[in-house]
Amino acid sequence: MIISNITSRKIENQIEVSALIDGYKLWYRFPDHLSLALSAEPFLAASFFVASQSGTTLEVQDSKTASPRILENFKRLQCIFGTWKSDLRPFTVKVQAEEPRAASDMICSFFSGGVDGLYTLISHETEISHLIYINGFDFHVSPEEFSVNVQRLENLSAPFGKEIIPVETNFYDFDKFHGVGRHWSHGACLASVALLLQPAKCIVPTSYSYRDLRPWGTHPLTDHLWSTEVTEIVHDTADLERPEKVERIAERSQAVLDSLVVCWKYSDRNCGHCLKCIRTMIILKILGINTSAFKGSVSAEYVAKLSPPADYRPSYEDLLRFAIDKGDESMEKALQKALSSSVAKNIIREFDDKYLNQSIRSSFRYFKKNKA
Ligand SMILES: [Zn+2]
């Protein structure tokens, strides 16, 4: 696998840094007042999972160099991710090693106005100087929609006095082209953006608390291994679960809470129906907090009828613990019912798959269709 043509160019009010990775042009665009690193390590990080899939040598055919520290840590990253995902293979890297020059004095964090990013901002408010917002990483919206979102985040971050750094990239398409899977590659993508910006420190907001940790693209075991001699990349402390994070945000400011966007469906508002919206609305209901971030609220009766999918069960267990802690008995009973329903459905699904060739599901679909 060959990385070549690492280059930069100015496009209107942006600077684009790009490289050819086996002929595929991977690019990142930043506001043009920023100074960016023109080195190999951002593209080595971006290519990490693609190279891991094939196990082929990752070679930089360019005069650009890479940080000795990150090259040394590639072995550890391969070991950790290879343990979690058994089809990943070790690969060698061919590039000239050289320590990067001094970084900027920025302290950055990634930010999209959601619970994790807001909590990290609040808990490191005095330290963080810049917030990085990326289009083309886990979602891709039109330039017009991106501008609207940037303005929204600028308004949201204004009381904190932080500068938003809007970043555009085609990493999402690159990742999809190679069939890697975002839940593995997103940490490498965040690292590539941080390595281009070269702040003194870049904080990665947590997705899971220590209680719920699992193999994932961003993780306390791996995030710091993307660091170089001049840029420390750190995973934020994962001591709080999501309900407590929402509570801290609500305590900080009603205006900040009203700007919260957690939705899977939209990047600039909450639909109020997806799993992420419902999860946050349950927390707000338990806390007894009203916010204009959501139209309406959820009742315990509504929650009792839910049946969260298996991979969402840990977050509902967090909600249940939170309801118990807060003494909300009706929501406690509703969440217990939802979790029981989820477990029962999972058992039936597994039995149907293993012994009945999915005949229960086929019958259910047949009756549902005829009933309609
Ligand atoms: Zn939603």
CA of 48 to the centre of ligand 1 (A): 31
Confidence band, pLDDT 50/70/90 cuts, at residue 349 = low
The pLDDT assigned to 3 comes to 97
Query: Measured between alpha carbons, how far is 47 from 149 in angstroms, rounded to an integer?
Result: 28
Evaluate if residue 79 carries a pLDDT over 90: yes
How confident is the model over 358-362, as a mean pLDDT?
A: 68
- What are the tens digits of pLDDT across the range 3-19? 999 999 999 899 999 99
182 pLDDT band (50/70/90 cuts)?
Answer: confident
Q: What percent of the chain has pLDDT over 70?
A: 94
* Alpha carbon separation from 274 to 181, 227, 277, 280, 286 (Å, rounded): 21, 35, 5, 10, 18
Per the model's pLDDT, the better-predicted residue between 211 and 138 turns out to be 211
- The better pLDDT of the pair 191, 213 is held by 191
Give the residue with greater pLDDT, 314 vs 285: 285
Distance 312 CA to ligand 1 centre (A): 15
Question: How far is the centre of ligand 1, averaged over its atoms, from the C-alpha of 277 (Å)?
Answer: 4
349 vs 111, more confident: 111
From the list 111, 130, 127, the residue with the least C-alpha distance to 198 is 130
Q: What is the percent of the chain where pLDDT is above 90?
A: 73
Determine the distance separating the centroid of ligand 1 and the alpha carbon of 281, expressed in angstroms. Answer: 10
Task: Compute, in angstroms, the gap from residue 287 CA to the centroid of ligand 1.
Answer: 20
Q: Is the pLDDT of residue 363 over 80?
A: no
Q: How confident is the model at residue 351 (pLDDT cuts 50, 70, 90)?
A: low
Ligand 1 center to residue 339 CA distance, Å? 20
Specify which residues 25 forms β-bridges with.
20
Q: Is the pLDDT of residue 365 over 80?
A: no
- Residue 254 clears pLDDT 80, i.e. is over it: yes
pLDDT at 236: 95
pLDDT for residue 367 is more than 80: no
Kindly indicate the confidence band of residue 352, based on its pLDDT and cuts at 50, 70 and 90. Answer: low
Give distance in angstroms: CA of 81 to centre of ligand 1. 30
pLDDT of residue 315: 87
Measured in angstroms, how far is the CA atom of residue 133 from the centroid of ligand 1?
19
Q: How far is the CA of 275 from the centre of ligand 1 (A)?
A: 7
pLDDT of residue 372: 58
Residue ranges per domain, the chain?
Answer: 2-235, 261-371
Three-class secondary structure assignment of the chain: CEEEEEEEEEECCEEEEEEEECCEEEEEEEECCCCCCCCCHHHHHHHHHHHHHHCCCEEECCCCCECHHHHHHHHHHHHHHHHHCCCCCCCCEECCECCCCCCCCCEEEECCCCHHHHHHHHHCCCCCCEEEEEECCCCCCCHHHHHHHHHHHHHHHHHHCCEEEEEEECHHHHHHHHCCCHHHHHHHHHHHHHHHHCCCEEEECCCCCHHHCCCCCCCCCCHHHHCCCCCEEEECCCCCCHHHHHHHHHHHCHHHHHCCCCCCCCCCCCCCCCHHHHHHHHHHHHHCCCCCCCCCCCCHHHHHCCCCCHHHHHHHHHHHHHHHHCCCHHHHHHHHHHHHHHHHHHHHHHHHHHHCCCHHHHHHHHHHHHHC
What is the rounded average pLDDT for all residues in the chain?
A: 91
pLDDT for 356 equals 65
- pLDDT at position 273: 93
The reported pTM is 0.88
pLDDT at 82 > cutoff 90: yes
Q: What does the pLDDT look like over 55-75, one tens digit per residue?
A: 999 999 988 999 999 999 999
Q: How far is the CA of 280 from the centre of ligand 1 (A)?
A: 10
- What local confidence, expressed as pLDDT, does residue 103 receive? 73
pLDDT band at 43, cuts 50/70/90?
Answer: very high
219 pLDDT more than 90: yes
100 and 39 Cβ atoms separated by less than 8 Å: yes
Determine the distance separating the centroid of ligand 1 and the alpha carbon of 273, expressed in angstroms: 5
So what's the pLDDT on residue 347?
67
294 C-alpha vs ligand 1 centroid, how far in Å? 9
